[in-house]
Amino acid sequence: MRAVDSRTRFRLADLPMAKDRTPGWRTVAGAGEVFQASDGTWVLSSAEAVRFAHRHPDIFSSAAAFSGAGIPIPLIPVAVDPPDHLKYRRVLDPMFAPRVINSIEDDLRAQIRDLVAGFATRGECDAVGELAKLYPTQVFLTLFGLPLADRDQLIEWVETINENSSTGTAEPKPVVVEAAMAMFGYIQRCIDEKRRNLGDDTLSRLLALEGDDAWSDDELLGFAWLITLAGLDTVTGAIGFTMLYLARDADLRRQLVADPALVGPAIEEVLRIEPPAITTPRVTMQDVDVCGVRIPAGSPVMLCLATANRDAERFEHPEDVDIHQADRGHVTFGGGIHRCLGSHLARREIRLVVEEFHKQIPEYEVAAGFEPEVVWPSATLHLASLPLVFPVSGAVS
């Protein structure tokens, strides 16, 4: 029997994360590259340990980690292990490739231009509530060929489910069940309507698959479920953090306005420092040694992407945004076979937000006295709100 004392007295939810994540991530990294937390979960905190798990999906099962999630449908593709996983990604990767995003970029750019124009003459905005929360859902609806009018309802369901779901095994709250049932119904109706009237969009292309490649309704539902619950609030988080760092760093912001080629590196650095998906779960399928520590078969494991991204071995300034180290690699979108399917889309969304925001509002800062906070504890991180103030162009001063 393992001595409980050997475990590190550590619970992620106890860390002070709301205002500044740096002390919390130092605590995690300081507990060791590989350690067992109070609840029995093994934590991989270094870049080497996380990358090892990414390279061995057969040992670190994603399917086993998601099987107890209480969802009666397969969460495709994250809850699928090799070899079936490849079958899904072969179909999905081309649908989320940069070339596909290029084909709808003009539309996506026009949408963010309109959102920014909605507050550009007002001199202030909430960059989370009026932008970061709205845009990812609009992009999802656009990609899936669904009406933008569904945006606010979809956001409400997703927020209700994400904000009231504990990561434990407790029974879901009634509000979650209600929102989940409503969203299931909505997705099923979208599938039914789209099947009768195929268009030039991702959902139509999935519905058009034939023979052995054809997806069942359960597979379609599971995929749509995963995208809406994991692919919207994470991008909300990333957009919010990007705007926060740019609002606080006038020098960096002005460099980006002067040289748009620096937007990409700046985005990478904020993604590295503030990954919205801070951890990803796995379960070991066999005994395995990671960085000299033996993890037994059947153990729940947490890959801590946030600390892997701040590994002092890899970065000269691990805790600061520094565009000169933007090419040194991070794991904000994971790695290995489960690399975030929407990573190309997320990066494009953030870039379009920065470019179009700066065209209309090149100078801005966080409202005086406001201290931005993330919702915590939470499975993914996003700012609750981000009030910005800025001069109104053309205004008489």
Partner 1 sequence: MRVVIDDERCTGNGRCYAVAPELFTDDDRGYGQVIGDGSIDDHRLDLARRAALACPDQAVTVEDR
Span of 183-191, 237-245, 322-330, 371-379 interacting with partner 1 by CB under 8 A: 322-330
Strand 42-44 relative to strand 300-304, pairing? parallel
- Nearest approach in angstroms of CB 234 to partner 1 is 16
Contact status: 93 vs partner 1 (CB under 8 A): yes
Q: Which two tokens stand for residue 47?
A: 């870049």
Contact status: 336 vs partner 1 (CB under 8 A): yes
Report yes or no: 350 and 243 within 8 Å, Cβ to Cβ: no
Nearer to partner 1, 17 or 226 (CB): 226
**Pick from 1, 9, 72, 99: which binds partner 1 (CB under 8 A)?**
99
Apex 313 CA angle, 312 and 315, nearest 5: 60
The residue behind tokens 């919390």 is 24
DSSP output for 302-332 = EEEHHHHTT-TTT-SSTTS--GGGTTS---T
**Pick from 7, 204, 328, 377: which binds partner 1 (CB under 8 A)?**
328
Q: Counting every residue, how long is the chain?
A: 397
Nearer to partner 1, 223 or 390 (CB): 223
Q: What is the CA radius of gyration of the chain?
A: 21
Span of 65-73, 246-254, 276-284, 333-341 interacting with partner 1 by CB under 8 A: 333-341
Span of 13-21, 35-43, 188-196, 337-345 interacting with partner 1 by CB under 8 A: 337-345
Among candidate residues 46, 111, 33, the one with its CA nearest the CA of residue 310: 46
Straight-line distance from the first to the last Cα atom of the chain, in angstroms, rounded to the nearest whole number: 73
# residues near partner 1 by CB under 8 A: 24
Among candidate residues 127, 83, 172, the one with its CA nearest the CA of residue 390: 127
Span of 4-12, 92-100, 188-196, 376-384 interacting with partner 1 by CB under 8 A: 92-100
Instruction: Count other Cβ atoms within 10 Å, centred on residue 248.
Output: 13
**Pick from 343, 367, 384, 389: which binds partner 1 (CB under 8 A)?**
343
Span of 23-31, 33-41, 197-205, 335-343 interacting with partner 1 by CB under 8 A: 335-343
- Nearest approach in angstroms of CB 49 to partner 1 is 14
Report yes or no: 329 and 268 within 8 Å, Cβ to Cβ: no
Put residue 336 in one of left, alpha, beta given phi > 0 → left and psi -120 to 50 → alpha.
left
Contact status: 264 vs partner 1 (CB under 8 A): yes
- Nearest approach in angstroms of CB 340 to partner 1 is 9
Contact status: 235 vs partner 1 (CB under 8 A): no
**Pick from 10, 88, 96, 390: which binds partner 1 (CB under 8 A)?**
96
Q: x/- contact string, 196-215, with partner 1 (CB under 8 A)?
A: --------------------
Tell me the β-bridge partners of 125. 388
Contact status: 55 vs partner 1 (CB under 8 A): yes
**Pick from 21, 330, 358, 382: which binds partner 1 (CB under 8 A)?**
330
Contact status: 54 vs partner 1 (CB under 8 A): yes
- Nearest approach in angstroms of CB 100 to partner 1 is 8
Question: Coil, helix or strand for 149?
Answer: helix
- Nearest approach in angstroms of CB 62 to partner 1 is 13
Report yes or no: 10 and 37 within 8 Å, Cβ to Cβ: yes
Task: Compute the distance between CA of residue 386 and CA of residue 388 in angstroms, rounded to an integer.
Answer: 6
Report yes or no: 342 and 100 within 8 Å, Cβ to Cβ: no
The residue type at 341: L
**Pick from 147, 327, 371, 396: which binds partner 1 (CB under 8 A)?**
327
Q: Provide the binding-site residues for partner 1, judged by CB under 8 A.
A: 51, 54-55, 90, 93-94, 96-99, 264, 327-331, 333-337, 339, 343-344
